[in-house]
Structure formats: C-alpha cells, structure tokens
Amino acid sequence: MMHAHRIGPSVADVMTEEPVTVAAEENPAQAAHLMDVHHVSALPVVDDHGTLAGLLSQTDLMRARTTAALWQRWPTLQGRDLMTAPALTVAMDASIVDAARTMEAEHVHRLVVTGADDQMPVGVVSVSDLVRVIGDLR
C-alpha cells in the first residue's frame, strides 16, 4: 500500500483571507482606525484599480508621529506617503517554508499574498500565522 508524500501547507492554507485594504489616497488617521477596528497591524494599500501599491503598517504610522516633518504634514498626508513600497509579496500557492524564508531574509513580520495575477492582494500571511502550523511540519 502506497502512502502519498505529505506536502506541507501552502500560504493559502494559513493566510488571513480577504484582507482589509486602504486606498493609496486615504488619510493615515482612517488607516489607523481601520487597523484598530479590524485588529490588524498592517493594511495592503491599493490603487484605484485594486492593484497592490504598498503596505502601511503601525510602524509606518508611528514613524510619521515621531518624524517632525511628517507630523507637521499629518492633516494632508495620504497612505501612499507613508507606505512601504513595493510591498513584499508571496504567491498563495507558495509553501509556508518559502514564506518563512522570505520573512527571515527581508526582516519583516508579514507578506501580502497575491493571486495568480501577482497584483491583487488576496490575503496577508504573518509570522504568527506560520508559527501556528510549525509544530505540524514533521
């Protein structure tokens, strides 16, 4: 009797699906509100077509608060002014080991998951998502 070789979970198996996104022109205060309401620490930033433009994190917002030149512009800032771009991405069919390697190499805590087109965000995978399944990877 043959046993199928177990292939580890893919990013799609562990990611947060249908991520809350923020428009590139949205003000940072609204982005902070969305993070708070949805209990997330970062939001994919999208353009008018829903294409991934960057990633806006709590760290980016904190940097704006502690950088005098940015804080003076706070009322007129947009998400695109503070976001990290381009966002680091991973394909939804990538292995979680590949995602973990990318996070480690790039010193980040999350990746935006893209669909087949490599442009539309379909999820977010974080270190905590990966840690939840690491124990099962034997």
Q: What is the pLDDT of residue 113?
A: 96
Classify each residue of 95-128 as buried b or exposed e, where b means 16 or more C-beta atoms within 10 Å of its C-beta. bbebbbebbeeeebebbbbbeeeeebbbbbbbee
The pLDDT tens digits of the residues spanning 16-74 come to: 999 999 999 999 999 999 999 999 999 999 999 999 999 999 999 999 989 998 889 98
User: Which whole-number Å values give the CA distances from 136 to 79, 96, 112, in the listed order?
Assistant: 38, 12, 23
CB neighbour list of residue 45: distance below 8 Å, 6 or more residues apart: 21, 22, 23, 24, 52, 53, 54, 55, 56, 79, 80, 83, 85, 87
| pTM of the complete model | 0.85
